[in-house]
Amino acid sequence: MQIDVFTSQRLQGNQLSVFTDARGLSDSEMQDLARETNLDETTFVIPRDPAVEVQEGVKVRIFTPEFEIPFAGHPTLGTATVLQTLRTRNGMVKASDASTSTIVLDLKVGKVPVSFREEADGLFGEMRIRSSFFSRL
């Protein structure tokens, strides 16, 4: 799925391609798909058992057309927003609770929580990261 991040308007902001089920894809296949999308970043969600996701977060890998990267802002927020929207649509989160919940992404730099709140122009996601993440980049 392709989305626009950092905007409330279609065809604006930063483009992002999100593969919501990358189970079974090899590293080279993910790289090939990222190269094919030709966007700055493409993310791959690797679903795990729900109990593991509660403890460890949702596993996500981020690729540019050239290589994998451990962290980037717009892919993290965009992927979390896609996952939050899917959770709401699938009844995993009640629509009334969707604006106050948090998703934890398990990235190469570690766990990154993204919290959501409803604003006048839509759902707003906010992430908090430790400064030590940047020493790992």
Amino acid letter for position 14: N
Specify the CATH number of the domain 2-136: 3.10.310.10
Cα–Cα distance for residue pair 9/44, rounded to 1 Å: 24
pLDDT at 121: 75
β-sheet bridge partners, residue 107: 110
Domain ranges of the chain: 2-136
Burial label for 73, CB within 10 Å (0-12, 13-18, 19+), is: middle
Active-site residue list: 41
Alpha helices in 26-131 (DSSP H): 27-37, 50-56, 73-89
What is the average per-residue pLDDT within 63-84?
A: 94
pLDDT in tens, 90-110: 766 555 554 458 999 999 999
Q: What is the pTM of this model?
A: 0.85
Q: Give SS3 for 60.
A: strand
Q: Sign of torsion, CA 108 80 35 10?
A: negative
Q: What is the pLDDT of residues 15-49, one digit of tens each?
A: 999 999 999 999 999 999 999 999 999 999 999 99
